[in-house]
Structure 1
Amino acid sequence: MNRWRSKLAALTTVSIVAVLLATPAAAQQSGNEQDSRVQVEYAPTMLVLDGSGSMTGNDPSGGTKMAAAKNSVRSLVDMLPDDAQFGLTTYGTETGETPAEKETGCQDTSVLQDVKQLDRQAITSAVDGIQPSGYTPIGHSLRTAADQLPDDKQRAIVLVSDGLDTCAPPDPCEVADELAEEGINTVVHAVGFGVDDEASEQLNCIAETTGGTYTRAPDATALEKALPRVTTVALRNYQPTGTPAKGSEQPAGAPEIGPGQYVDSLGPQQRKHYSVHIPKGGVGYFSATVPLTRGEGGMGDINSLEIDVTSPSGESCTDGGVRSLSTMGQDGVPLSTSAVVDTTEGNMGGDCQEAGTYTMYVLRDSDTAQQAELPIEVQVGVEPAVTGNKGEPSEMDTVRFQEQNGQAQPVVGGGSFSSAATLDGSEVYRDSLAHGEYVFYRVRLEWGQGLAYRVNYAGNKQAGLANVSTMLYSPFRKVPPSDGEDTDSYDGAPATLGPLATTPVRYLNRDEYEGGATSVAGWYYIGVKLGRGVEGDPPPALVDTELELTVTGEPENGPEYASGGDSGNGDVFGDGNAENSPAIAESPTTDSFPLVPVLAGAGGAVLLGGAAVTVWLVRRRNRMRP
């Protein structure tokens, strides 16, 4: 398997990076870890359910189509995350199908539940009350559904229909084109329930025009499987999450923040400063992630994100900063970069090994396209000093991948680090991706444990030519330099990426460059991408994936931290407790920057590269060992 690996000597390392995006998911929790992540925001989604007279017809598996659709919606509502923003609209329930009733019937669209935080009982009751009887005004219903959705963020419509629109005008494909041109990111995912080829073509047109997906469900069994898959994709959204913090324009007055995740906003050529206290002998972990606005710019559009951390006396601890570059801003792939300041004696030199308040700045630069103010996630971790045993010796050999042959377990990948789906150990996990999605999973690794995995993409003749990639991230969002990425092209034939692997997690791995990313216990992240495609709009296809995961090793004793430290690293990155920080400020309003859609991809004609290039200006400050 060919891999993109590049190592530059001394101070510069370049690695092709496909950075993140995608999903919410009612993430599972591991047995020994309480999920205390910051709250995830989902894309507001309206389900539009066919209630026309044709839904009284028989389903091939028994019963009526309407009964099958109701059962599928009940199952869907049970599995949706509690914080999902979800509503229900139906059409064709207030008139009959006689010619005399057509004028009224073609306006017959009813909003049964507004889009708001999921109310399972209300939606289930509303679905149970639907009595199919009338016409099929799909175009009119799409307009109605779109009017119910907020216009300041990505939003989605899931349309379930058993036939053609019987009311045009407005033509449903023309309405889809209107939605696509409004400047508001409205994606329509369509499900054809027992439809013929003509209706299937119309529904496919609606989905493809808006960048959504189309799924054909011939019977009740297929519909019950398809509806959760499609709705999950609709809900996935990259909304930066964290405790609101307002960075200062100058180092003086930088707000103090502690371990945790924060959200701010950042314009082009703008610099924000934050201060963090690092104890004597402690380690500071700093990362920043900025989503880019999908659809803006082109292959030549260059965006960058830079972090630097300065000592209490103002000395740079990263020799000038760590910078990420993106040349594909139009794909909406966020930039992410990280830096580490290790004040352990002999590691940094100068004032960068002293206890005190360090100042982090984040600088965003942009070419002409990405000029809007954008949200930024800032993550901070502070590891206590080690005062006793440092644990087992370093280990530079990656763990061995073991093929998993059990039945694949369903999982819903997340659209960001914060919403990553939890994988609970060695297993095969299955998911589905739309073109342009980059989704996240997370695995808890204790001291002494490691992971290896590979990703299998199923064949799909409806899929387009696109880039696929997978990335492996440390708890502080660093990609291991030699075994942290794999990428390839996908043309609808089955494809496999990996295996990728970590070393066993050891504190002393930080003394080895290759192992620096596996020197802290915690959550490790896996990103999986199905690119947008290279020819026009992304194909409206869902591609099934399987992630085969191996977790090796029994937990072992880690380092002995200074009094009050946690050898399990439970509090290094805040565990969602950033609200205790003095840096809390008013949350940036959603009007100040566009909320960024989940869809991301390679775009253009580049098939074998990642979506961004991370330039590590320095791997670590020069060691000052005697």
Structure 2
Amino acid sequence: MARGRAGVALLTTALLLAPAAALGSGQSAHAAAGTTRFSGGPKAASGVSKTLKAAPGTPGGYAFADDAQRVEGAASTGAAPTLTAGRSYRSTLPASGPVHYGVQLDGTSNAYVSVTAVPPAGGTAAVSDGLKVSLRDGAGRSCDLDTATIGAGRSPRPVTAWAVREISPRRSLCREAGTYYVSVERADPDGRGASPEPWELELAVVSEPPVKEEGSAGAPGAWNSATPDPLTGEEQRRPGGAGFAEAALIGEGVWRDDIRPGRTVFYRVPVDWGQQLHVTAELGGSGSGRSGFVPSALDLDLYNPVRGHVADLGIGYDGSQKTESLTPLPPVAHANRQAPNSKVSAVRFAGSYYLVAHLSAEVAEEFGDEPVPLVLRVRVGGSAQDGPGYQGDSVPAGIFTVTEEDREAAAEGTADGDGTAMRALAVGGIGTGSALLLGLGVWTVVARRRAAP
């Protein structure tokens, strides 16, 4: 602990020597560090995860990618704006009717379009309302459709759906190069209690190249579907991020945050090829001394590296400690996409898997507005293996890989504590001069000393 404070003090000195104007240069932390995920994504070359909170007044408390390009969806496909793979976009979804976007796809790569909808915070929500995303080819033929709903908790929260264009011998449609159209609409805008306001959207497109040898990935193999005992050990505090772009980095371990009713927190876990992810969620006692019951107090959703839904769990809450585990998932493998089970097929590539936890606003009505302890027990089993061997690069590059920096940062907890100083350096960006370079050099020495036995 003392050595950590000394390192921060040295960095603070370096920052004070830098021109103050540089801190207002507008350079984002992830941009300065060399982002290799989605535009606005959390993966930085330094291995440090960005966990800054959403700015006051952001819709629903959600932190959109800070360099997301604003684009307006069209009422017809003929006027649809074009989305580019590797970029993040921000748009608006009206209370009724679809909006349309275009994407240019080649004839060899798989494509994934994710859409996150953010209802206004403090509003109302219908159980069946949510988000419907569809993908069609230029002739209007359906390629894929996905729906994500608010659910039984009726608590306004970000919901994410994805649409897939997959090049596969099993599919004869949607294989040609050309313009495809993404349509986004509310799932049930007329449902009882549905929000009448427009919702904000975050959209992203990812391109996955084909493997080098056709059929080299094979069929899904047998895997151990037994649920292991939840991981034990000392809890480490790790505040969750306010959006996918600011998801807090965690690895195997026991992680705690105190979550307020109505809030959603985001985490990401690096999971490599051949590794198997197990997650248990635990809500602690409210400490209010009040009695009551909230049937759907906690929603925990797991998303894959392209923000495709994998699995979820719900916890009912009576003010006392409650625990639930995600359904067992297979080891990450390219061949999983051939499985008929959607939970298995979604675990199709390595990279950052996202845990998104929402505590229902109803908890405040029953037990007060004080934060409730949230503990995530994360186990990453198995040894990392080689990937399937792609013919080219993904767009964005590196989204289906786990680097050594990922593993080290997840294990050492650099997304919290001392990582704050590293993020401060990144925000300073270019133009802070030799003082920052000196600070980085000092920090490197300190980090090496801390790593020494």
Could you tell me which amino acid in structure 1 is paired with residue 211 of structure 2? V
Q: Deviations over 1:332-355 (max 9, x none)?
A: 2233222211123x23213x1222
CA distance in 1: counterparts of 2:352 and 2:226, whole angstroms: 17
Are the counterparts in 2 of residues 247 and 255 from structure 1 also a CA contact under 8 Å? yes
What one-letter code is carried by the residue in structure 1 that aligns with 2:303?
Answer: Y
The one-letter code of the counterpart of 2:203 is V
Offset at 1:436? 2.5
Give SS of 2:64's match: coil
- Partners of 2:102 and 2:395 in 1: how far apart? 25
Q: Report matched runs for 1:576-587 at 5 Å.
A: none
Aligned residue type for 1:417: F
Letter in 2 for 1:366: P
Q: Identify the residue that residue 521 of structure 1 maps to in structure 2.
A: 350
Amino acid at match of 1:280: G
Amino acid at match of 1:442: R
Which residue in the other structure is 1:339 paired with?
Answer: 163
For residue 319 of structure 2, what is the aligned residue in structure 1? 492
TM superposition shift of 1:308:
1.6
What is the alpha-carbon distance in structure 2 between the residues aligned to residue 317 and residue 37 of structure 1? 23
Name the CA shift for 1:239/1:264 in 2 (closer, same or farther; >3 Å).
same
CA distance in 2, matches of 1:363, 1:264: 12
> Is residue 356 of structure 1 aligned with residue 178 of structure 2?
yes
Q: Distance in 2 between matches of 1:357 and 1:572?
A: 25
CA contact (8 A) 1:456 1:496 kept: yes
- 1:354 maps to a residue whose letter is E
Aligned counterpart, 1:502: 329
2:18 corresponding residue in structure 1: none
Farther-moved stretch of structure 1 (526-535 vs 369-378): 526-535
- DSSP 3-state at the match of 1:418: helix
CA–CA distance in 1 between the matches of 2:388 and 2:279?
27
> Is the aligned partner of 1:471 residue 2:290?
no
Q: CA deviation at 1:408?
A: 1.6
The letter for the 2-side match of 1:376 is L
Q: Give the alignment of 1:362-373 within 5 angstroms.
A: 362-364=184-186, 366-367=189-190, 369-373=194-198
1:354-433 equivalences under 5 Å are 354-364=176-186, 366-367=189-190, 369-388=194-213, 390-391=216-217, 393-395=219-221, 397=223, 398=225, 401-423=228-250, 425-433=251-259
Q: Which amino acid counterpart does residue 437 of structure 1 have in structure 2?
A: R
The answer (yes or no) to whether the contact 2:69–2:88 under 8 Å persists in 1 is yes
* Alignment-mate amino acid for residue 394 of structure 1: P
> 1:399·1:502 contact (CA, 8 Å) conserved in 2?
no
Indicate if the aligned counterparts of 1:442 and 1:525 stay in contact, CA closer than 8 A.
yes
Match of residue 532 from structure 1: 361
Q: How many Å separate the matches in 2 of 1:81 and 1:468?
A: 21
Alpha-carbon distance in structure 2 between the residues aligned to 1:298 and 1:82: 27
Contact 1:446 1:568 in 2 (8 A): no
Distance between the aligned counterparts of 2:234 and 2:349, measured in 1? Answer: 32
| SS of structure 2 residue aligned to 1:540 | coil
Preserved CA contact (<8 Å) 2:110 2:164: yes
1:451, distance to aligned residue in structure 2 (A): 0.7
- Cα drift, residue 400 of structure 1: 5.2
Q: Is the 8 A contact 2:38 2:396 kept in 1?
A: no
Q: Secondary structure at the match of 1:252?
A: helix
Structure 1 residue 512: deviation in Å? Answer: 0.4
Structure 1 residues 327 and 426, CA gap change in structure 2 (3 angstroms): closer
Change (3 A) 1:385 1:81: closer
Q: Which residue of 1 aligns with 2:109?
A: 282
**Contact 2:53/2:242, CA 8 A, preserved across alignment:** no
Deviations 1:4-60 (A, max 9, x none): xxxxxxxxxxxxxxxxxxxxxxxx99xx996756559xxxxxxxxxxxxxxxxxxxx
Q: Partners of 1:519 and 1:511 in 2: how far apart?
A: 9
Alpha-carbon distance, 1:544 to partner: 1.6
- Residues of 2 paired with 1:385 and 1:294: CA distance? 41
Question: Does the 8 Å contact 1:297/1:329 carry over to 2?
Answer: no
Normalised TM-score (structure 2): 0.67
Residue in 1 aligned with 2:129?
303
- Distance in 2, Cα, partners of 1:81 & 1:336: 20
Structure 1 letter corresponding to 2:319: G
For residues 531 and 329 of structure 1, the distance between their equivalents in structure 2, rounded to whole angstroms, comes to 6
Residue 153 of structure 1, CA deviation: 5.2
SS at match of 2:134: strand
Q: CA deviation at 1:330?
A: 6.0
The 8 Å contact of residues 303 and 329 in structure 1, kept in 2 or not, is answered as no
> Which runs of no fewer than 5 residues in structure 1 stay unpaired?
1-27, 41-79, 86-149, 155-184, 186-236, 574-626
How far off is 1:432 after superposition? Answer: 0.9
Unaligned runs of 5+ in 2: 1-28, 42-49, 402-453
Alignment of 1:39-188 (within 5 A): none
Pair 1:544 & 2:391 matched: no
Cα distance change of structure 1 residues 81 and 488 upon mapping to structure 2, 3 Å threshold: closer
Deviation for aligned residue 1:524:
0.8
What is the identity, as a one-letter code, of the residue corresponding to 1:249? A
Deviation digits for residues 246-299 of structure 1 (CA, Å, limit 9, x no counterpart)? 332221242222223211112122322222222223211122121122443465
Distance in 2 between residues matched to 1:502 and 1:568, nearest whole Å: 26
Count of residue pairs the alignment pairs up: 349
Q: Which has the larger radius of gyration?
A: 1
1:443 alignment partner AA: V
For residues 572 and 316 of structure 1, do their structure 2 counterparts lie closer, same or farther at Cα, with a shift above 3 Å needed?
farther
Secondary structure of 1:249's counterpart equals coil
Q: CA RMSD in A?
A: 3.4
Alpha-carbon distance in structure 2 between the residues aligned to 1:36 and 1:338: 17
Contact map agreement 2:125 2:195 (CA 8 A) in 1: no
Distance 1:408 1:392 in 2: 40
Deviation digits for residues 572-599 of structure 1 (CA, Å, limit 9, x no counterpart): 79xxxxxxxxxxxxxxxxxxxxxxxxxx
Residue 393 of structure 1 and its aligned partner are, at CA, apart by 4.9
Aligned AA for 2:293? Answer: L
